[in-house]
């Protein structure tokens, strides 16, 4: 088990900072949520939380970033980033669905997860981690890439867009939810 820092980006709705912290984290209400209904956080890289606030969702009223920590483990988190067994299992389920005509090239990750949870009842996890490959615009200032070869396009992503969806507020022992951006809203800000 490893302690992991995560960041949630919220639209600034003018809520009092202390109330925002005490009531958080906040459930994603976006219809197109990638991993199903849950509490979405960016894994490790605060730059991804800024990207989401400025470019991804581009919140017109500004945005707030809250930091939390969790006890990350593969027993409770279905990890499609670092656990090759989970990645293989998910791919095998998708291939099986394709073979049976239950899925096609337009089937989303969310639909497969919902089927695993609600129909197969084979999802004992309280969180899920995934990598949103190509989620940022190629010209985004938040991309941080290093080429493997100068004459080819493959690169190493040094701030990959890893997301963790916590299916409950206490998944993976999620705790210490605090505002870190903007600085003047953070508890330890000194004017």
Sheet strands side by side (includes 63-72)? 77-79, 127-131, 162-166, 39-43, 2-11, 63-72, 175-181
Q: Is 164 within 8 Å of 68 (Cβ atoms)?
A: no
**pLDDT at position 3:** 96
DSSP H helices, the chain, are: 17-23, 46-51, 84-99, 109-118
d(CA 129, CA 68): 16
Cα–Cα distance for residue pair 23/18, rounded to 1 Å: 9
Query: Does the pLDDT at position 157 exceed 50?
Result: yes
Annotated domain spans of the chain: 2-82+123-185
> CA-CA distance, 11 to 115, in Å (whole number)?
30
Better-scored residue on pLDDT, 175 or 158: 175
Tokens 């991993």, residue located: 35
Query: What pLDDT is recorded for position 191?
Result: 45
Over the chain, what is the mean pLDDT?
92
In whole angstroms, what is the distance from residue 128 CA to residue 115 CA?
A: 15
Which residue's entry shows tokens 């009531």?
A: 23
Interval 60-111: pLDDT, tens? 999 999 999 999 999 999 999 999 999 999 999 999 999 999 999 999 999 9
Phi-psi label, residue 120: left if phi above 0, alpha if psi -120 to 50, beta otherwise: alpha
């Amino acid at each position: 088990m490893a302690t992991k820092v995560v960041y949630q980006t919220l639209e600034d709705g003018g809520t009092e900072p202390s109330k925002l912290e005490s009531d958080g984290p906040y459930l994603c209400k976006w219809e197109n949520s990638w991993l199903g209904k849950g509490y979405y956080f960016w894994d490790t890289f605060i730059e991804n939380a800024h990207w989401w606030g400025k470019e991804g969702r581009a919140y017109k009223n500004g945005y707030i970033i809250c930091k939390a920590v969790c006890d990350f483990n593969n027993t409770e988190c279905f990890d499609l980033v670092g656990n090759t067994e989970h990645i293989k299992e998910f791919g095998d389920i998708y291939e099986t669905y394709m073979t049976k005509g239950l899925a096609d090239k337009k089937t989303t990750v969310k639909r497969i997860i919902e089927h695993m949870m609600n129909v197969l009842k084979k999802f004992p996890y309280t969180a899920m981690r995934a990598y949103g490959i190509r989620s940022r615009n190629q010209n985004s200032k938040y991309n941080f890439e290093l080429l493997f070869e100068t004459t080819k396009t493959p690169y190493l992503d040094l701030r990959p867009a890893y997301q963790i969806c916590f299916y409950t507020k206490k998944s993976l022992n999620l705790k210490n939810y605090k505002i870190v951006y903007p600085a003047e809203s953070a508890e330890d800000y000194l004017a």
